[in-house]
A and B are shown apart, each in its own frame.
Chain A
Amino acid sequence: MSQTGEPRTWKRPPFIQNARLRWGLWLGAAVYLTLAFGTLEVDWGRVVEGVPRGQRFIASFFPPDFLSRWEEIFDGIYESLWMTVTSTVIGVALSIPVGLGAARNLSPTPVYLACRAIVALSRTFPEIILAIFFVKLFGFGPFAGFLALSLATIGFYGKLLAEDIEAMDPVQAEAVKATGASWFQWLNYAVQPQVLPRMIGLGLYRFDINFRESAVVGIVGGGGIGATLLTSFDRYEFDSAAAILLIIIAIVMGVEYTSGFVRRWVQ
């Protein structure tokens, strides 16, 4: 082809070919958003009233008071940590068989479906709903919280373990199988080395989540620091509540830092 004639133009073809449909979708989205914001009904008078009240509320957090309720705070933290450690260990231990079963490249279809169902069920309910459920079943206290967190851990960890196993290198696995290894030897030599570093990292991440969630399940009666926090709010002891919040922040940051360090080390 020669250079004669007008220059040829090019435009990226639109994602949706049909122009009417394309503009229709934009228009629909705009109308929906306008209506949705219209239903918010912000009462600006109350917002203005609320600002100084909020300032007073926040001011009452200072200075944080660690001492006057120290025993309750200590017991709450202690119970929360206990709940976190046990639920992480039990949850991870239980999610290993579930995760192996939920990996498509490892398990026959009936086992796969059953384990995926367990994962899906446990992921459907957030920790707080599980905690309400277990408090009704077993009464107030950290045992209900422990069960809720363990069950939530199975859904989280089992799903990620299964996905990691499904993404492993099949050739390495094939090579170990070709030596005449048994199924468990194959798991230990071909699957475990491929998924372990990431799973250690995720285990620590789950520990971190379980600690934060232990504060939430406490609010619905699942024991731990959440219960202490709720009590201090109920008594309008905002300075003690501030102390509790600071301790939670410190522990979460500590776990975060440690898990980052361990993850770098196991890679």
Chain B
Amino acid sequence: MLRLHGLVKRYRTGDLALKNIDLEVPQGQVMALIGPSGAGKSTLIRCINRLVEPTDGKVYLKDLELTALSKRALRHARRRMGMIFQEYALVERLSVMENVLSGRLGYTGFWRSFFRRYPQADIDEAFRLLERVGLVDMVDKRADELSGGQRQRVGIARALIQNPEVLLVDEPTASLDPKTSRQIMRLICELCEERNLAAIINIHDVLLAEMFARRIVGLQLGEIVYDGPPGGLTPDALTQIYGEEDWEATIEKVDEEDLTDEERAERVRLMGGH
């Protein structure tokens, strides 16, 4: 579904953020991308939809080479990639409905979007999604009136109304409390399963990553140093990703597949994890 070949990003300051990344994410796979701050996680997902221009290498969405697209073709390709942001990135002075409908901008003509006259099908879909994320009563509230968890739900609805094939998720839980974090991660994973979406989720919380993703990729100074199931995250692997630290408390000891989400959450609570 999504393939990265020899992706390199060097910022104008000379910092080499990504060194020759090769990565493939098949359809329906939720992949967590972990690593310390500054490892290049945000840069990596922004190189996919070219909010950041890669310096070298190729990115394919199915058979489409994203890195070769003209500006106009890139806008069309961006419609197929939903993005969810750290700190939600809602336009704060727009209403919940306008924020959700802004996910349709790539499909809508300028004047239609300017006068907020979206096609009925888009309005229906927006209401369906807001119902799904539990915010249907908030339609005309301004985005800055919502709580953090609610805002991220709007962010999720905005990404999904694009009808994307891939979700790019950048630290979705970074500013949420532990309980809301899990709810949001669970919602994202459920929606990916319902729609058979591939997703790359940047996350610095290792426990959350282990809890929700079946594949974990560890990034360290712009290089992939781990790629495997959550069970393979041994203290050695974590040391390689993050550096020397006592990792015993971070590692899941029971086979994850046997637990329900609630049980996992309970265990994490008992372990004092966050």
Q: Which residues of A contact B (CB under 8 A)?
A: 169, 171-172, 174-182, 184-186, 188-190, 193-194, 196-197
Contact = CB atoms under 8 A, between A and B. Distances in A.
Contacts of B102: 176, 179, 181, 189
A178 B91 contact: no
B258 to A, nearest CB: 37
A172 B86 CA distance: 11
Interface residues of B, number: 33
Interface-centre pick from A172, A174, A188, A196 (highest chain B CB count, 10 A):
A172
A175 B89 contact: yes
Interface of B: 49, 51, 75-79, 81, 83, 85-87, 89-94, 98, 102-108, 110, 113-114, 155, 158, 162, 168
Contacts of B89: 171-172, 174-175
B78 A178 contact: yes
Interface-centre pick from A174, A180, A184 (highest chain B CB count, 10 A):
A180
A89 B24 CA distance: 55
27 contacts: A171-B87, A171-B89, A174-B85, A175-B85, A176-B91, A176-B105, A177-B51, A178-B81, A179-B83, A179-B103, A180-B75, A180-B76, A180-B77, A180-B106, A180-B162, A181-B75, A181-B102, A182-B110, A185-B105, A185-B110, A186-B105, A189-B98, A193-B92, A193-B93, A194-B91, A194-B93, A197-B93
B87 A189 contact: no
B105 A172 contact: no
B129 to A, nearest CB: 14
Secondary structure of the A side of the interface? Answer: helix
Contacts of B81: 178
Given A180-B162, A189-B102, A190-B91, 8 more contacts: A169-B92, A174-B89, A175-B91, A179-B105, A180-B106, A185-B108, A185-B110, A185-B114
A194 B85 CA distance: 18
A177 B114 CA distance: 16
Contacts of A196: 93
B53 to A, nearest CB: 13
Nearest to B110: A184
Contacts of A171: 85-87, 89
Contact of A175 (B76, B90, B93, B98): B90
Contacts of B51: 174, 177-178
B126 to A, nearest CB: 13
B17 to A, nearest CB: 17
A190 B102 CA distance: 10
A193 B94 contact: yes
Contacts of A172: 89-92
A181 B106 contact: yes
A179 B110 contact: no
B113 A188 contact: yes
A176 B94 CA distance: 12
B146 to A, nearest CB: 14
Nearest to A180: B106
Q: Which 4 A-B pairs have the closest CB atoms?
A: A180-B106, A181-B105, A180-B78, A175-B89
A186 B155 CA distance: 17
Nearest to A188: B114
A193 B110 contact: no
A180 B91 contact: no
A176 B155 CA distance: 11
Contact of A180 (B79, B85, B94): B79
B241 to A, nearest CB: 26
Interface-centre pick from A185, A188, A194, A196 (highest chain B CB count, 10 A):
A185
A175 B81 CA distance: 12
Nearest to A195: B93
Given A174-B51, A181-B102, A182-B75, A189 B91 contact: yes
Contacts of A180: 75-79, 105-107, 162
A188 B83 CA distance: 20
Contacts of B79: 179-180
Contacts of B94: 189, 193
